[in-house]
Amino acid sequence: MSMQVTISLPEKTYRRAKRLAHLTRRDVNSVMADTLSLSLPPLGVMVTETAVADLSNEEVLALADLQVDAADDRKLSQLLDKQQAGTLTEPKRVELIRLMQLYQSSLLQKAEGLAEAVHRGLREPMTS
Nearest partner of 97 among 18, 38, 46, judged by Cα: 38
Q: Which long-range contacts (CB under 8 A, 24 or more apart) does 40-49 make?
A: 41/101, 41/105, 45/105, 46/105, 47/108, 47/109, 47/112, 49/112
Q: Does the predicted TM-score (pTM) go above 0.85?
A: no
Q: Are 113 and 63 contacting, i.e. CB atoms less than 8 angstroms apart?
A: yes
pLDDT in tens, the chain (128 residues): 788 999 999 999 999 999 888 887 889 998 898 888 777 665 544 445 558 889 999 999 999 999 989 999 999 999 999 988 989 888 898 888 888 888 888 888 899 999 999 999 999 998 87
